[in-house]
Amino acid sequence: MTISPISLAFEKSKKERRPALLTYTVAGDNTKKKSLEILNSISNYADICEIGFPHNTPIADGGQIQTASYRAIKNGIKMRDVFQIVKEFKKNKNAKPVILMGYYNMICQYGQNKFLKKCKQVGVNGLIVVDLPWPDNINFAKKCRKNSISFVQLLSPTTSKARMKKIISNSHDMLYYISMLSTTGEKLKVSPRNILKNYVKIKKIIKNRKKNLVIGFGITSKNISSFKSSDGCVVGSEICKKISKSIKNRQNPVTNVSNMVKSLKSKIA
Amino acid sequence: MIKIKKNKLLIDQHDKNGFWGKFGGNFIPETLKKPVEDLAILFEKLRKDKKFIRERDYYFKNWVGSPTPFVKLENLTAHLGGAQIWAKVVSEANGGAHKIYNATVHSLIAKRAGKKYIVGDTGAGYAGKMLSMAAKKFGLKCKIFMGAKDIKRQKPNCDAMRKNGAEIVPVYTGSQTLVDAVSECMRYWVSNCLTTSMCVGSTVGPNIFVKICGWSTSQISRELILQIKEEFGEIPKKLKLINCVGGGSSSFGFWNEFMHYNKKQIEFIGVEAGGPKKSKRHAAPLTYGSKIGILHGAAQYVNQNTDGQIEETESISAGLDYPGVSPLHCFLKDVKRARYTAATDEEALKAYQLVTKYENLNPSLEPSHAFAEAIKIAPKLSKDTIIIVNSCGDAQKDRDILRKRLGK
């Protein structure tokens, strides 16, 4: 089996003795064109790009990502635009692996099989479906694998050890650890030390070194350097917030976000 | 073809993944898996616990005020000249609506779980008001999530919540109504699930919330079946139970005990909110054939666009203004046990006028939708047909809207 672009990205960052940097932006935020420009520019620093397909009843997202999602939807972004953005982005020689992230209803309405086919066609490498937890995702995850798409399982501080083992045995090459009990983008209410303590425990359960565990939720420029020992860090809300601020101040979100991601990278390098 | 099983409550007829046929389930973030599972385990234990049942019955009787009256609407019946129209006046329950049953049960469970805080969503403000009452009664701190639009249009209930010491959290996202309040409440619970109980205000949400709510509101039909037998000596040969349907908690509770009767004998009619006559928007996913989708953790018929974005609804009645509907009702529609229809804002207002003109009854805009259907069909039916409308809420909360629309 060929090694997936997601695994390759982790291998590369491990060689450089640093965690992989994963960014999250919402497709179509604030316009289709701008979001593509943002992706193209942050691709210089990020290792993997998570791209959100916006939903208007996001039950696990905090204010920043909600705002970004509503902005994109209001600007008329549709699922077909999301795929178009990925397709265009992937034409960039410097493009990074893409993980689409969103809510299950959007996938259902598109049609599971059709959705996965389209993902493969445009070059999506992974999927995170926020409201499709294990074991409900078993079949879908299998279908993803058949289409060479990594299905990213989520783990949370509330996940029991027994459950964790089962989830891990069903996981592909990347897992996502939710740092704390919160929606996306809340202030870190657990110390990085304690988050890493849990993280190490989970890594021990995972054993398999080919399975990468990233940390997300509450990670910002301020605290990212505390997570240097992890396989990867996800920054989302802070980026979405930067876009909001740029629009408010009539600045170019592309430059601002790009600078931010550059600085994030320097903090873990 | 899936059918209703006779030997089991409908709330228990889901598969191991929490689905009633194609509906329901648990589409929730990983963080909520454990709290939802814990709640399910606790609820299954408590419903078998005689002491807990005694406690529930004690508070239902002495605090909620059970049974609520079952009365014949003589004047309305005479005016319409067809079937007999009766009302189960659930609005006589403490607080003025059926939402008190679910709020009481959730608060009792929260106490047993050792939680100090309880949060809930509300549309018309009844679920919030009742939760604030129950929280106060049982010594829990309470936060209510409510759409900013609803806060404006249901002021009397907001005043009541504040008086009971609850904090109202206004929700400004999306359409600023019930759908957004439920989302925000779930988000809050994701962040605070270790210390806080969540009460979903209707038979919607992840599987266990549908079950607990349906189990709680079933008190309505438990009372009604006895009252009917006492009044008529037996279950009438032609009986129609009409109830408004938003999320579907009052209608489910109103029908539960009659589930296994032949539908030719006991017909269930659910009336959804058709919205303003001239508007394309509505809150009637069952009536207008909305597609199956996922909303607030459950698969259900839901108003949405082709992309899967949830659509905004429109209804004069805040309590029915919800784009989805309980998985239980989706199931009842698919197995054809219940019939669903819609009444427009105008029809509900007209029904309200007619009922209050002829009867000493003050149904809120939600049950006024049910009365609209009763008024429509009664004249065409025989005199030995019994129509019972669940008058599940009191119009006191609607006084501003009624004044504006009817000059009252």
Looking at beta carbons, which residues of chain B come within 8 Å of A182? 190-191
Going from the first residue of chain A to its last (269 residues), give the mean pLDDT of each consecutive group of 10, the final group possibly shorter: 90 97 97 97 97 96 93 96 98 96 98 98 98 97 97 97 97 97 93 97 96 97 97 97 96 97 97
As a whole number of angstroms, the distance between CA A111 and CA A116 comes to: 9
Q: Cβ A105–B26 below 8 Å, yes or no? A: no
Q: What is the pLDDT of residue B175?
A: 81
The minimal CB distance from A106 to the residues B291, B292, B308 is found for: B308
Question: In angstroms, what separates the C-alpha of B151 from chain A's closest C-alpha?
Answer: 20
What residue in A sits closest to B311 (Cα-Cα)?
Answer: A56
Give the range of the structural domain holding residue A136, as residue numbers without chain letter: 5-268
Looking at beta carbons, which residues of chain B come within 8 Å of A135? 17
| Residue A11 known to be catalytic | no
Q: What is the pLDDT of residue A1?
A: 56
Q: Which amino acid type is present at position B210?
A: V
Going from the first residue of chain B to its last (408 residues), give the mean pLDDT of each consecutive group of 10, the final group possibly shorter: 89 97 97 97 98 98 97 98 98 96 98 97 93 98 96 92 97 88 95 96 97 98 98 98 97 98 97 96 96 98 97 92 96 98 98 98 97 98 98 93 88
Looking at beta carbons, which residues of chain B come within 8 Å of A163? 33-34
| Residue A61 known to be catalytic | yes
Q: What is the CATH number of the domain that holds A253?
A: 3.20.20.70
What residue in B sits closest to A55 (Cα-Cα)?
Answer: B309
Question: In angstroms, what separates the C-alpha of A166 from chain B's closest C-alpha?
Answer: 13
What residue in B sits closest to A186 (Cα-Cα)?
Answer: B191
- Looking at the structure of chain A, the number of domains it has is 1
Domains contained in chain B, CATH given: 20-60+98-214 (3.40.50.1100), 65-96+219-406 (3.40.50.1100)
Looking at beta carbons, which residues of chain A come within 8 Å of B35? 158
List A61, A173, A231, A238, catalytic entry: A61
Q: What is the pLDDT of residue B124?
A: 85
* Interface mutation vs chain A, best among B175, B187, B291, B292, most A CBs within 10 Å: B187
Looking at beta carbons, which residues of chain A come within 8 Å of B294? 103-105, 108, 131
Q: What is the pLDDT of residue B173?
A: 85
List A29, A50, A81, A238, catalytic entry: A50
